[in-house]
């Protein structure tokens, strides 16, 4: 499409005299503004996860092409989780690089880093499970550890894939729960604040890692957006099965 627009503008320019340049410039600006806006994708779902934004970007890109993303903002909630997904990829890449070292002590640090990782996403789990499946030439002890990690990352990757389509539409029971949640919101907001303060204290006192703190605070941010009561009910169905609504 861009080539067609360029060709039409170029042909019009060649057919114009000096007095028609003003109109041509207006047409050119309008055409390129339209082309620019055509390439802008807005994420309207404030509850979208970082993995869901990654999937959106992948689906927008032509197969086999390398693309650049501009204007991906780092802001609380959705944008923050988007940043965490790439931080997880960076951490996984460094751990896998250590695992490829000829030195046993370096390889062990790589295994320890993969074992300690907690904040998993679609990209890093996919990267690690493929790399571990191909890893050869390790000692029997290291290979045993690699196999355990590979199974763990495969399970995490399957969970992240399932979460991409876990949004769904709210049914009547969920709408009832949303109304109940609005009544309980004041109490829950106090509990969220207390939980956030506790996470910060635990981080300062080194009782938890930065990775665990980011997971806990991200969960609190998601809870603030609403829907926490319906989520809890679905995870804890009643014996009658109504909670599975």
Q: Is pLDDT above 70 for 146?
A: yes
Residue 186: which residues within 8 A CB-CB, separation 6 or more?
Answer: none
Q: How far is residue 49's CA from residue 124's CA, in Å, rounded to a whole number?
A: 15
Residues 120-143: tens digit of each pLDDT: 999 999 999 999 999 988 899 999
Question: Could you tell me the residue ranges of all domains in the chain?
Answer: 2-40, 78-164, 172-244
Residues 68-106: tens digit of each pLDDT: 877 776 666 677 788 889 999 999 999 999 999 999 999
Helix (H, G, I), strand (E, B) or coil at 204: helix
Mean pLDDT of the region 15-35: 77
Mean pLDDT of the chain: 82
Residues 190-211: tens digit of each pLDDT: 998 999 999 999 999 989 888 7
pTM of the model: 0.67
């Amino acid at each position: 499409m861009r080539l067609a627009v360029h060709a039409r503008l170029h042909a019009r320019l060649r057919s114009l005299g000096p007095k028609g340049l003003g109109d041509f410039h207006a047409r050119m600006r309008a055409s390129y503004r339209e082309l620019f806006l055509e390439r802008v994708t807005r994420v309207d779902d404030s509850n979208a996860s970082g993995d869901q934004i990654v999937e959106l970007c992948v689906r927008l890109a032509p197969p086999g092409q390398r693309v650049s993303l501009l204007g991906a903002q780092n802001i609380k909630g959705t944008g923050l989780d988007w940043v965490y997904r790439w931080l997880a990829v960076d951490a996984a890449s460094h751990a896998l690089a250590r695992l490829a070292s000829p030195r046993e002590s370096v390889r062990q640090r790589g295994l320890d880093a993969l074992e300690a990782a907690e904040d998993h996403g679609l990209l890093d789990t996919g990267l690690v499970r493929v790399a571990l499946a191909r890893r050869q030439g390790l000692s029997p002890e290291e290979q045993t550890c690699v196999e355990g990690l590979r199974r763990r990352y495969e399970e995490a990757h399957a969970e992240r894939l399932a979460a991409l389509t876990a949004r769904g539409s709210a049914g009547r029971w969920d709408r009832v729960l949303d109304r109940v949640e609005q009544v309980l919101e004041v109490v829950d907001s106090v509990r969220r604040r207390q939980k956030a303060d506790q996470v910060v204290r635990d981080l300062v006192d080194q009782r938890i890692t930065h990775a665990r703190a980011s997971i806990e605070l991200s969960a609190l941010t998601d809870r603030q957006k609403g829907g926490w009561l319906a989520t809890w009910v679905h995870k804890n169905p009643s014996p009658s099965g109504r909670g599975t609504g």
